[in-house]
Structure 1
Amino acid sequence: MPERGRSCAYEAVVFDMDGVVVEPTDRAVLVDAVVDTFAAFGVEIDRGFAERTVAEDFVPVEAARDHGLDPEAFWHQRELTASLAQQAHVRDGGKSLYDDVAAIRDLDRPLALVSNNQHATVEYLLAHHAIGDRFESARGRAPTLAGAARRKPEPDYLEAALADLGTTDALYVGDSEKDVVAATRAGIDSAYLRRLHVADVDLSAEPTFEVSDLRALLDRLGA
């Protein structure tokens, strides 16, 4: 795609987590978490429905109500279950750190991380991979319905990280269209990281530029 946008001398760089810093979560882990959450309330849910909630990334509020569950209590349990399941997945070797993440240590500007994953999962992964000290701010979603509503493509968590960094002269690096849209809504540039798992994805929202890996990003930033 043609390059566009202004200078790449950003004051700060913000990264997405899953698919950018660490490998994406195995979808079966998240589907199991949905099934297990309903089971914790005594409800046997169709696995196909659970798979759809994960694939389409929606909060099953109506399904919870249909089974006589309080949506807020259900969602809090779902977030706890999903976070603990991902942490176990990490201990079993999942969600590895990408090799090129080492390159970001050469970036001589403030860095932050903003993820749609649970904040507890973000904190666990940063500690597990011993990279938390590299980010001045790390934001994941709160385990509430309001927290879920603030996920990307909404800019809320991204704007909070920018406030932590004290600048809006920043670049957001992500691997999804939601990341591109969130950056646009926050008024900053975006870099689409076209790793193998999104190699053939067509975007309807245009990022400021694309890179193939984080080393290419550093080259683009002149680091």
Structure 2
Amino acid sequence: MFVSKQATIGSEYVRGVTEYDAVLFDNDGVLIEPPARDTQSEATRAAFREMGVETTDRQHIADIVDGVTVERLQEICTAYDLDVDAFWAARERHDERSQLDAFRAGARGRYDDVAAITDLPQSRGVVSNNRHSTVTFVLDFFDLGSSFDVYYGREKTVDSLRHKKPDPQYLNRALADLDAESALYVGDSESDVIAAKRAGIDSVFVRRPHSRDVDLTVTPTYEADDLHEVVAIGDD
């Protein structure tokens, strides 16, 4: 069963999911299986090799894979005397190719419970930290395009890193597009919960197998084990 923050603090009212104007979803880890860390690490090493760097520091690879900031990326590129924009363009190209190859090979799939969200009557959207072009591919490849009214990922630029969640920029754009005064954002990371809070909307933290044991330092509005439980929020 889902757990609501409201229920935890003793409120008699749990807002039903259908009472929101819109429901927004993260992509990786919510709609589709997340990328393998080893695959992303190898894509990053391939980008370094393309730039002429054969030997890289393990921590630099880890920092890039784990959600590098613009400032940290600049520091890493300085250590190898690389142009930041050129390296990042190579990394984006290799990482996206590795993700698309994994989808085509069946190494990454869509979660079976995604079908449950088609029962939701209101507008739906996707807001992802992944590239917009990758999200576009995913929606087409898994035949999900008709399930969402809007979708946003980031551009393939260094500056786009500044607008990754927990920055709420893309959430705010989706809300504006959908003309939604109230919304629920469904994610699988702490940054998703923070981004929702900054956008002034409620959140669901989905405890997929990869996020089952995550200790959050922020409190989501709801927690759920899967999308069936998300759709059932507010049901008696």
Q: CA deviation at 1:55?
A: 5.1
Q: Quick one: distance in 2 between partners of 1:76 and 1:53?
A: 17
- Of structures 1 and 2, the one with the larger relative CO (CA 8 A, separation 6+) is 2
Give the RMSD, CA atoms, in angstroms. Answer: 1.7
Aligned with 2:233: secondary structure? helix
Q: Quick one: distance in 1 between partners of 2:5 and 2:199?
A: 21
Aligned pair partner of 1:162 in 136, 151, 175? 175
Q: Quick one: distance in 2 between partners of 1:100 and 1:221?
A: 18
**What residue is the counterpart of 1:96 in the other structure?**
109
**What residue is the counterpart of 1:7 in the other structure?**
15
Structure 1: segments with no counterpart, 5+ residues: none
Instruction: Give 1:43's aligned amino acid.
Output: V
**What residue is the counterpart of 1:114 in the other structure?**
127
Aligned pair partner of 1:204 in 205, 211, 217? 217
Instruction: Give 2:20's aligned amino acid.
Output: Y
**What residue is the counterpart of 1:129 in the other structure?**
142
Verify: 1:40 aligned to 2:46, yes or no. Answer: no
Aligned with 1:78: secondary structure? helix
Aligned pair partner of 2:192 in 179, 194, 204? 179
Structure 2 contact 60–76 (Cα < 8 Å) conserved: no
Q: Quick one: distance in 2 between partners of 1:218 and 1:24?
A: 21
Structure 1 pair 97/47, CA: closer, same or farther in 2 (3 Å)?
Answer: farther
So what's the TM-score if we normalise by structure 2? Answer: 0.89
Structure 2 contact 4–223 (Cα < 8 Å) conserved: no
Verify: 1:143 aligned to 2:156, yes or no. Answer: yes
> Following TM superposition, where does structure 1 have runs of at least 4 consecutive aligned residues deviating by more than 4 angstroms?
none
Q: CA deviation at 1:209?
A: 0.9
Q: How many residue pairs were aligned?
A: 222
Q: Percent identity?
A: 40
So what's the TM-score if we normalise by structure 1? Answer: 0.94
Aligned with 1:210: secondary structure? strand
Q: Quick one: distance in 2 between partners of 1:120 and 1:221?
A: 35
Instruction: Give 1:214's aligned amino acid.
Output: L
